[in-house]
Amino acid sequence: MNKITIPIGPHHPLLKEPLSMKIDIAGERVLGASLRLGYVHRGIEKLALERTYVQDVHLIERICGICSHVHTTTFCLAVEALLGIEVPPRAQYIRALMCELERVHSHLLWLGILAKHVGLETVFMHTWHDRELALDIMEGVSGGRVSHAANQIGGVRFDLSEEQEAMIRENVEKLKTQVGGVLDVIENEPALRARTQGVAPVSVELIKDYCVVGPVARASGVDIDLRRDDPWPPYDQLDFKVITLPDGDAWARTLIRALETRESLRLCETIMHKMPDGPVTVRAPRKVPEGEVVTRSEAPRGEVVYYLRSNGSDKPARLKVRTPTLAVLSLLPEQLSAIHVADIPVVLAGIDLCIACADR
């Protein structure tokens, strides 16, 4: 059979964001792939140097729409470390609550996308309907469904009233039931399992070679999770399970995200239960003394690393962001060799791409 090259080009129904791949196929088998990024590059790291720290918090939020809160949290942690100020405990708990809710909404979004690409549009619509509950919580609390603007340097920008706490508890309960139903469907639907089981298994050696992080690594049995290994408060006071699965194929990557969603909802309940009272912000000076700092966080897709260097003024001297999708994308050409053409959507969906994060 001749070899033809199909472009999964910048425009394709499979991709949420532009990415260019050229895939060589012969008949129905894939021979190899090559990757090209940069379509969503906006120069955030350079733009951040021309704005003050206060303005940068809002700029950093727009690196990615799905994991916006984690980015701002990590940035604020970096600046607060350089300033040497300690955020009040209630603000830490609110930050963790928003992080976990973001994990829930991101995984539900991803699950819908996988179902849609496999042909199960009903599951897509039903999971996005359940995701609206999480977005309703975030909108009621912070004022925006996707752009929360929850963080400021020195704490969070809003406090939770009694009614809001009751609303959060009620919606988290509802979400737990719905996510239980979704988990039922995934585990028992034979067609979904038939499409994903045994597809593109990734070994532990490949994970370690390419420095892959996040649920993709945990689905192959590598036990890393920054919330437990390198926690920022309050994660060091909270109890939760880190889920790993041994197989490493697309089915494991599907199941692990559904299980992580359930675990995150339990974590939300623990956070609401343990939330202390007190102020939600401390005053932060505008000029940051000289220094450099590295902070890390566990975004829904893996480990986010921020490097910040300051020179005593109110604008940063250098900001560097390493997002998890960049680490996982390097694995993609390897995963795409020796599979069926019909498995390309399953593999792509399994990595949970967020190209806006990767390109900055």
List residues near another protein by CB under 8 A: 4-7, 12-14, 28, 51-52, 54-59, 61-62, 115-126, 129, 132, 139-144, 147, 149, 152, 157-158, 181, 184-185, 187-189, 191-192, 194-195, 340-345
Pick the closer one to another protein by CB: 38 or 143: 143
CA distance 220 to 205: 10
Which class for 309: exposed (0-12), middle (13-18), buried (19 or more C-beta within 10 A)? middle
Quote the least distance from Cβ 291 to another protein, whole Å. 23
Quote the least distance from Cβ 211 to another protein, whole Å. 29
Q: Residues 302, 218: contact at Cβ < 8 Å?
A: no
* CA-to-CA separations, 335 to 11, 250, 340, 345, 348, in angstroms, rounded: 21, 11, 11, 12, 9
Residue reference for tokens 């909404």: 105
Pick the closer one to another protein by CB: 149 or 305: 149
Pick the closer one to another protein by CB: 50 or 236: 50
Three-state secondary-structure class, residue 318? strand
Q: What is the largest CA-CA distance in the chain?
A: 70
Pick the closer one to another protein by CB: 20 or 147: 147
Quote the least distance from Cβ 48 to another protein, whole Å. 11
The total of other beta-carbon atoms located within 10 Å of residue 229's CB is 12
SS (H, E, C) 13-32: CCCCCCCEEEEEEECCEEEE
Q: Angle at CA 275, nearest 5°, toward 67 and 244?
A: 50
Pick the closer one to another protein by CB: 46 or 208: 46
Quote the least distance from Cβ 157 to another protein, whole Å. 6
Pick the closer one to another protein by CB: 138 or 219: 138
Quote the least distance from Cβ 200 to another protein, whole Å. 13
Structure token pair of residue 60: 């950093």
Quote the least distance from Cβ 181 to another protein, whole Å. 7
